Amino acid sequence: QKEVEQDPGPLSVPEGAIVSLNCTYSNSAFQYFMWYRQYSRKGPELLMYTYSSGNKEDGRFTAQVDKSSKYISLFIRDSQPSDSATYLCAMKGAGGGNKLTFGTGTQLKVEL
Amino acid sequence: SAVISQKPSRDICQRGTSLTIQCQVDSQVTMMFWYRQQPGQSLTLIATANQGSEATYESGFVIDKFPISRPNLTFSTLTVSNMSPEDSSIYLCSVDSRADGYTFGSGTRLTVV
């Protein structure tokens, strides 16, 4: 079993829809949780960076962390065609070392 | 956040040859990270490069195959040696920008023929 599980999609939604992207994980030591957006032929771009459980909002994006369920989510409101990309979750522990563990990424397409 | 310049952006190489990928950061950073991204798979950490010391390699990656240099706090190189088609992948460098999280370069798309 992988440490981080993420549905690869593809996920196709109409413009303006609310998108929900999710990851589950098995390592209870993970404390820092990130969401990256990756456009084709580009490097990953950090969208959200959260510590421990709770919600964080930034514009149209909301990240949720539920450590009791080992489940994290990214919500995108009023989705736009420019949101079409692969979304990667990543996480790491609070201990020594800075190794990130990634999900496989979910491919999202927002249709006009 | 830090800005990373990575080159080459892509290359097509013959099997048995080596390719060196460069990563330049616009600010001084303690640790730089090298990742591999294979189609349909997660980003996998190859090694962590600290200035002034040997790189630390993850399980499954060895220095002879992926030698790394870290001559100063803003620059690192990763060499993919004695390449085979299985090395075809995207290679990415990354830094820990602390307050801003982890920043990635744009990647090097390598095809080995």
Residue A99: what pLDDT? Answer: 82
Contact criterion met (CB < 8 Å) for B106 and A8 = no
Residue A1: what pLDDT? Answer: 76
| DSSP string covering A60-99 | TEEEEEETTTTEEEEEESS--GGG-EEEEEEEEESSSS--
Residue B99: what pLDDT? Answer: 63
> Counting Cβ atoms within 10 Å, is residue A59 exposed (0-12), middle (13-18) or buried (19+)?
exposed
For the segment B56-83, the average pLDDT, to the nearest whole number, is: 96
pLDDT at B14 over 90: yes
pLDDT at B106 over 60: yes
Please, what is the average pLDDT of chain B?
93
B95 touches chain A (CB under 8 A): no
pLDDT in tens, A10-53: 999 999 999 999 999 999 989 999 999 999 888 999 999 998 88
Residue A97: what pLDDT? Answer: 61
Residue B51: what pLDDT? Answer: 84
Closest approach of A21 to chain B, Cα-based (Å): 16
Residue B83: what pLDDT? Answer: 97
Residue B42: band (very low, low, confident or very high) from pLDDT cuts 50, 70, 90: confident
Backbone torsions φ then ψ of A82, nearest 5 degrees: -70, -10
pLDDT at A59 over 80: yes
Q: Chain A residues with CB inside 8 Å of B41's CB? A: 104
Q: Chain B residues with CB inside 8 Å of A4's CB? A: 42
Residue B40: band (very low, low, confident or very high) from pLDDT cuts 50, 70, 90: confident
B33 touches chain A (CB under 8 A): yes
For the segment B12-27, the average pLDDT, to the nearest whole number, is: 97
Which candidate from B31, B40, B104 shows the least CB-CB separation from A43? Answer: B104
Higher-scoring residue by pLDDT: B97, A17: A17
pLDDT in tens, A64-108: 999 999 999 999 999 999 999 999 999 998 765 668 899 999 999
For the segment B31-43, the average pLDDT, to the nearest whole number, is: 90
Nearest C-alpha neighbor of A60 from the set A20, A25, A101? A20
Check if the beta carbon of residue B57 is closer than 8 Å to that of residue B50.
no
Buried b / exposed e across A66-79, counting CB within 10 Å, b at 16+?
eeeebebbbbbeeb
Which candidate from A49, A102, A105 shows the least CB-CB separation from B101? Answer: A49
Check if the beta carbon of residue B84 is closer than 8 Å to that of residue B74.
no
